[in-house]
Amino acid sequence: MQTRRGRFAPSPTGPLHPGSLLAALGSWLFARRGGGEWWLRVEDVDRIREVPGAALDQLEMLAAFGFVHDGPIVRQSDRDVLYAEALDRLLVDGHAFECHCSRSVLETQGGIHRACILGLQRPDPAIRLRVPDDCTVEFDDAVHGRQSQRIDRDVGDFVLRRADGCWAYQLAVVVDDAAQGMTEVVRGADLLDSTPRQMLLQRLLGMSTPGYAHLPLLVDAHGHKLSKSSSAHPVDRDDPLPALHEAWLQLGQIAFAASPQATSQEWLHDAVARFDPARIPREAQRIVP
Ligand code: GLU
């Protein structure tokens, strides 16, 4: 039987905030219930947004919160060869093409690419996926239920390798989830609408599709999603239990009394036995300032 395997894959764009902790905890609970594996991946594919030192800081923070991972920790920056192989396959099969359109030109068509605007030639073309016409992708999300997206109309031909040479998240995540044998992807709801694109890529590359669960986002008092790069809401690694407890409640779980002397690993051990995925809310959760 295939090993059940989930992952947490933060981008090193700043210190983990309560929203990242919620995604880490949620992915850990999904994976560990029933004894599955939980892996870590450093998603440093976007070198421009990367903050030096953030990856190490995030890994230390996760360890301080008691999260023990399986498998090797991979970094996307070491995996160019895998992404290039997948891209070549898509190009050879006619599913991908060089695109010379600029963002400003695409704005004239609502930012959605369906056909290249003739006459433009850039030295550094992006590579896009040629999305078939009438391309509807449907899936069942473990939290949000049935989802459906018309990719050609709502997204268009999406980028696989950017004009600046960076791999696009959509390609890298699909290649990594397949290469690492992920059977489930549990992450924030901001990526719910990326999932159909990832499923289309899996199909075109002959890869299997994992199960998906998208956790509620945390928003601030103004309704804005918390971001690692703003670091306005740091989590205290020296006092992990209150933050874990808060994330547990944001996942809709029933409060339980842990011993104040419990280590975070003991707390996680107790939590996984009580975890009920059916209680996870769909709506964004507002954090108390
Ligand atoms: N790297 C993404 C982030 O930090 C998560 C991607 C994923 O889990 O698929 O938001």
The residue written with tokens 């709506």 in the block is 283
The residue written with tokens 């093409």 in the block is 97
Q: Where exactly are the structural domains of the chain?
A: 5-78+216-286, 79-214
Please list every protein residue whose CB sits less than 6 Å from any atom of ligand 1.
Answer: 9-11, 43, 173, 187, 191
Most distant pair of Cα atoms in the chain: their distance = 69
C-alpha 62/C-alpha 265 separation (Å) is: 11
Active site residue 228: yes
Ligand 1 pocket test target in 42, 44, 177, 191 with most atoms within 8 Å of CB: 191
Match domain 79-214 to its CATH number in 3.40.50.620, 3.90.110.10, 3.40.50.150, 1.10.630.10: 3.40.50.620
Would you place residue 233 in the very low, low, confident or very high pLDDT band (cuts 50, 70, 90)?
A: confident
pLDDT in tens, 93-137: 999 999 999 888 888 888 899 888 866 788 889 999 999 999 999
Q: Quick one: average pLDDT of 198-207?
A: 98
The single residue of 69, 228, 235, 267 carrying the catalytic annotation is 228
Would you place residue 148 in the very low, low, confident or very high pLDDT band (cuts 50, 70, 90)?
A: very high
Does the structural domain 5-78+216-286 have CATH classification 3.90.228.20?
no
Residue 72 confidence (pLDDT)? 97
**Torsional sign, CA 68, 70, 72, 75:** negative
Q: Which helix (H) or strand (E) holds 201?
A: helix 195-204
